[in-house]
Chains A and B, each alone.
Chain A
Amino acid sequence: MSLVEVANLSIAFGALQAVDGIGFAIGKGERFGLVGESGSGKTLTALAIAGLLPETARREGTIRFDGAPLPHDERALARLRGKRIGMVFQEPMTALNPLMKVGRQIGEALALTKAGGDIGALLTEVGLLPTHGERYPHQLSGGQRQRVMIAMALASAPDILIADEPTSALDLVTQAKVLDLIAALCDRRGMALMFISHDLKAVARLCTRVAVLQRGRMVEAGETASVFGAPGDGYTRRLVAAARMQLPEIAHGSPGGVLVATRGLTRRFRQPGSWPLPGKPLTAVDKVDFAVRTGESIALVGPSGCGKTTLARILVGLDTANAGSIAFDGRVYHGADLSPDLRRDLSLVFQDPFSSFDPRMSVAQSLAEPLRLLDGLPPEMHRQRLAENVAAVGLEPAMLTRFPHEFSGGQRQRLAIARALMTRPKFLVLDEPVSALDLSVRAEVLALLMRLKADYGLTYLVISHDLDMVAAIADRVLVMQAGRIVEEGKPAELFTNPRHEMTRELVAARLPAVG
């Protein structure tokens, strides 16, 4: 008998059919993966198994846990999931109560399920110290918080662990460690796993069997190796191809002269000290020297908190360096003192296309904003430039009158790119340009970026922690750690023969390709 049996499960919100007649079974101790993109219904399926669906959701079909249907009584259902189902969610930053020490939050789980257990032992089991229990969530890093979540899920010694994108908010190195931890815990405790992710490589690393969801329907299911190795369904094939990050071959032109060069660039932040003593300054960017040649595509990689984003902000003039300088086309600046006529030559694309547009401005208004920098451009040219750019990123000029919420994530990122190109810049900084996008869209956006680079003669600085993407698009890679650039080289050489410890750690954390 299977531990979890789902048959004909449908979930609807009003007229919207979010999950449409899916069925699967998870055996005791089995590791099952549910793969799908945003909106595929994978999270709702997990919530349905735990009885945590939103009140507005309408559920049909049967879910049996250990042979018995899920109880209807709220309290009985709550106690069942507390006792036998452990859950880990995507966002470790918000999943813990900020006002309560994490040890107490774990203790609560122990008390609720009357599982005799020890908070210290649980913390040790997930690779933390018993003293971490005395901390509040904000005193822990993302990876540590996710470990606390896992400890909490383990408190009741559950039969199954449901992990919903547990690592997608973590950086590459932490992600690999947390995946290893989950695998080890399942082995040691003989616990079943339902692993939900859009990351095929993470699923392949953990699960023996997978199901692929597309818009609420199950398109394929089977052994992981056979589903990813020889996908039977067209959609699965597309996902697998996207996961391999295969981009159309682009002729890399030979780079020209130096476009951007930094000299001893340093940014320190004041930290709160214990009054009246000042806090120890945090050096986010530490004497960074590098040069980018015209037409090059440079990638900046490193763990979270290493200073990548601060460096990018200084380059585009959103922040100012405490020491050192930048020369752009031979003109020197230090950050925010970037002169307006230089500003139009630099642009930035942000990670999250959902928060980088003003929701109350039409797309045309948002896109036209950078045109302020071009005082020489006659107003009648504005409309033409807008239409040109929107067409360049593969969208219709008719869409310009719409508002951001009417677009999908991929479309919004295309619009963000169109906005970045409004002033016809020479240099584009891309901060994790595709990590907020669905897998199948990522490859399209990257291909678009490479095409635009050739069409407009752009130079790129791409910040990312995704080494596969970096390998696909970068001519040169800079590895950053604790504010310093510790290694530099061509991606192929750097990733096969890493010399610095940080690079080695990043390469080791890279998950093997699927299929």
Chain B
Amino acid sequence: MTFVLRRLLGFAATLFVAAAVIFFLLDLLPGDPARFILGINASAEAVANLRIQLGLEAPAWQRFFAWIGSMLIGDFGVSYTQGAPVAALIGERLWVSLPLALFAMVLSAAVGLPIGIAAARRRGSPIDTGLMVLAQLGVAIPNFWFGMLLTLVFAVGLRWLPTGGFTPWHEDPAAALRALMLPGIALALPQAAILARVMRTALVEVTGQDFIRTARAKGMTMSEAVWRHGVRNAFLPVLTILGLQFAYLVAGVIIVENVFYLPGLGRLIFTAISERDLILVRGITIVLVIGVTLTMLLTDLCYALVDPRLREGGS
């Protein structure tokens, strides 16, 4: 219990610090949002009025806490380029990006882990070498390039899947899913390759441990011992990587959404930055930070679930 409590506190503290960094960094950036909204030709008086209206005249720390307070009740402000509430904009786009990220995560684990286990069990064999060469390639290939390749083969050549764009879920769920297939695969490939390598190394190491020998001494064959005692122990380092990968996935989503022309968070932040919509940028960034921090929290909790040594709140 202590463990969970501590992690939750850590989670809250991380979010607070991240929010402060995001807020004050954007605040320090040169450029006056009011001037940007009204254009270069606006009068100084109009700009000053808008600044008051936007609440930009208050001291930074007051605006920071006001921002935090309104976020807690779900109000992320209003985007001045899109003229719509930031929360609604993000919510809409989240329905594209979140399924995409989750799909990529599940796919990378479903592909990467079995490959890693298979390679570890046949260590030193041609199968192991072949799989690891493939994994090396997978790590090296940039996902936007792989995405374009997938489009060429499966969308342009074979015409199995759309080249890009997105049909909203409520209109045609099947079409929405089809639209996420190629970008999901493009995102999952490098992650799967990394997972395969980590899983292999971890399992090879665990196989040499004394407790595997103990299990064999009890009457198990090597494979039985590895399955019952090895895989779970090998999963600990994999879990760390899995948590970290989510952060990389966020960066990947921004690129891949642009390649596949998906109306997700990645595209939204891209436009928001190029249009200097600071409120929107701030909103999306904090949502991404929450997502990554939440994943870290979940990883930590999973860790405790797997490893009894962590549950006691020790160091």
Interface string of A298-330 (1 = CB under 8 A from B): 000000000000000000000000000000000
Q: Verify A275–B313 contact, CB threshold 8 A.
A: yes
Q: Which residues from A are CB-within-8-Å of B5?
A: 275
Q: Verify B312–A87 contact, CB threshold 8 A.
A: no
Given A272-B313, A272-B314, A275-B5, do A109 and B218 touch, yes or no (CB 8 Å)?
Answer: yes
Among the listed stretches B84-92, B196-204, B301-309, which one makes contact with chain A, having 4 or more residues with CB under 8 Å of it?
B301-309
Given A100-B229, A108-B228, do A95 and B211 touch, yes or no (CB 8 Å)?
Answer: yes
Among the listed stretches A73-81, A198-206, A241-249, A397-405, which one makes contact with chain B, having 4 or more residues with CB under 8 Å of it?
A73-81
> CA–CA, A274 to B312, complex, Å?
8
A82 at the interface (CB under 8 A from B): yes
Q: Verify B221–A78 contact, CB threshold 8 A.
A: yes
Q: Which residues from B are CB-within-8-Å of A96?
A: 211, 214
> CA–CA, A161 to B225, complex, Å?
21
B191-232 interface (Cβ within 8 A of A): 209-211, 213-222, 224, 228-229, 232
B233 at the interface (CB under 8 A from A): yes
Interface string of A6-31 (1 = CB under 8 A from B): 00000000000000000000000000
> CA–CA, A98 to B2, complex, Å?
21
> CA–CA, A243 to B253, complex, Å?
68
B66-92 interface (Cβ within 8 A of A): none
Given A95-B210, A275-B313, do A78 and B232 touch, yes or no (CB 8 Å)?
Answer: no
Interface string of B171-204 (1 = CB under 8 A from A): 0000000000000000000000000000000000
A102-146 interface (Cβ within 8 A of B): 105, 108-109, 112-113, 136, 138
A387 to chain B, nearest CB (A): 40
> CA–CA, A91 to B213, complex, Å?
12
Q: Which residues from A are CB-within-8-Å of B6?
A: 275
Given A52-B216, A78-B216, A152-B218, do A97 and B211 touch, yes or no (CB 8 Å)?
Answer: yes
Q: Which residues from B are CB-within-8-Å of A99?
A: 232-233, 306-308
Q: Verify A81–B219 contact, CB threshold 8 A.
A: yes
Given A108-B228, A275-B5, do A97 and B215 touch, yes or no (CB 8 Å)?
Answer: yes
Q: Which residues from B are CB-within-8-Å of A85?
A: 217
A361 to chain B, nearest CB (A): 25
Q: Verify A52–B2 contact, CB threshold 8 A.
A: no
Please name 19 pairs of A and B residues whose Cβ atoms are closer than 8 Å in the assembled complex, sorted by A.
A52-B213, A52-B217, A78-B216, A81-B217, A82-B219, A83-B219, A87-B217, A94-B210, A95-B210, A95-B213, A96-B211, A98-B233, A100-B229, A108-B218, A113-B218, A152-B218, A153-B217, A272-B314, A275-B2
B226-255 interface (Cβ within 8 A of A): 228-229, 232-233
B259 to chain A, nearest CB (A): 41
Q: Verify A97–B218 contact, CB threshold 8 A.
A: no
B4 to chain A, nearest CB (A): 10
> Closest residue to B221 on the A side, CB-wise?
A78
The 3 closest A-B pairs by CB, nearest first: A82-B219, A87-B217, A94-B210
> Closest residue to A270 on the B side, CB-wise?
B315
A236 at the interface (CB under 8 A from B): no
Q: Verify A75–B218 contact, CB threshold 8 A.
A: no
Given A91-B210, A108-B228, A275-B2, do A98 and B217 touch, yes or no (CB 8 Å)?
Answer: no
Given A94-B210, A96-B211, A96-B214, do A74 and B315 touch, yes or no (CB 8 Å)?
Answer: no
A156 at the interface (CB under 8 A from B): yes
A172 at the interface (CB under 8 A from B): no
Q: Verify A136–B221 contact, CB threshold 8 A.
A: no
> Closest residue to B212 on the A side, CB-wise?
A97
> Closest residue to B307 on the A side, CB-wise?
A99
B211 to chain A, nearest CB (A): 4
> CA–CA, A138 to B311, complex, Å?
12
Q: Verify A136–B309 contact, CB threshold 8 A.
A: yes
Given A78-B219, A99-B232, A99-B233, do A152 and B314 touch, yes or no (CB 8 Å)?
Answer: no
A50 at the interface (CB under 8 A from B): yes
Binding site for A on B (CB under 8 A): 1-2, 5-6, 209-211, 213-222, 224, 228-229, 232-233, 306-309, 312-315
Q: Verify A89–B309 contact, CB threshold 8 A.
A: no
> CA–CA, A288 to B72, complex, Å?
56
Q: Which residues from A are CB-within-8-Å of B307?
A: 98-99
A136's partner among B1, B233, B308 (CB-CB below 8 A) is B308
A149 at the interface (CB under 8 A from B): yes
> CA–CA, A149 to B218, complex, Å?
10
Q: Which residues from A are CB-within-8-Å of B233?
A: 97-99
> Closest residue to B222 on the A side, CB-wise?
A74
A74's partner among B218, B221, B232 (CB-CB below 8 A) is B221
Q: Which residues from B are CB-within-8-Å of A112?
A: 218-220
> Closest residue to A55 on the B side, CB-wise?
B222
Q: Which residues from B are CB-within-8-Å of A153?
A: 217
Q: Verify B214–A95 contact, CB threshold 8 A.
A: yes
Q: Verify B211–A138 contact, CB threshold 8 A.
A: no
> Closest residue to B235 on the A side, CB-wise?
A99
B10 to chain A, nearest CB (A): 12
> Closest residue to A136 on the B side, CB-wise?
B308
Q: Verify A149–B220 contact, CB threshold 8 A.
A: no
Q: Verify A138–B217 contact, CB threshold 8 A.
A: no
Given A94-B210, A274-B1, output 19 extra A-B contacts at Cβ < 8 Å. A52-B213, A52-B216, A52-B217, A81-B219, A89-B214, A95-B214, A97-B214, A98-B233, A108-B215, A108-B228, A109-B219, A112-B219, A136-B309, A138-B308, A138-B309, A156-B219, A272-B312, A272-B314, A274-B313
Q: Verify A94–B314 contact, CB threshold 8 A.
A: no
> Closest residue to B208 on the A side, CB-wise?
A54
> CA–CA, A78 to B218, complex, Å?
8
Q: Which of B216, B218, B224, B229 has the most CB atoms of chain A within a 10 A radius of its CB?
A: B218
> CA–CA, A96 to B1, complex, Å?
26
> CA–CA, A79 to B219, complex, Å?
5
A30 to chain B, nearest CB (A): 21
> Closest residue to A84 on the B side, CB-wise?
B219
Q: Which residues from A are CB-within-8-Å of B218?
A: 82, 108-109, 112-113, 152, 155
Q: Which residues from B are CB-within-8-Å of A136?
A: 308-309
B217's partner among A50, A91, A94, A275 (CB-CB below 8 A) is A50
Q: Which residues from B are CB-within-8-Å of A105?
A: 214
Q: Verify B315–A149 contact, CB threshold 8 A.
A: no
Q: Which of A100, A152, A156 has the most CB atoms of chain B within a 10 A radius of its CB?
A: A100
> Closest residue to B306 on the A side, CB-wise?
A99
Q: Which residues from B are CB-within-8-Å of A275?
A: 2, 5-6, 313
> CA–CA, A97 to B232, complex, Å?
10
> CA–CA, A78 to B217, complex, Å?
7
Q: Which of A50, A85, A98, A136 has the most CB atoms of chain B within a 10 A radius of its CB?
A: A98
B204 to chain A, nearest CB (A): 13
Q: Verify B209–A94 contact, CB threshold 8 A.
A: yes
Q: Which residues from B are CB-within-8-Å of A152?
A: 214, 218
A490-515 interface (Cβ within 8 A of B): none
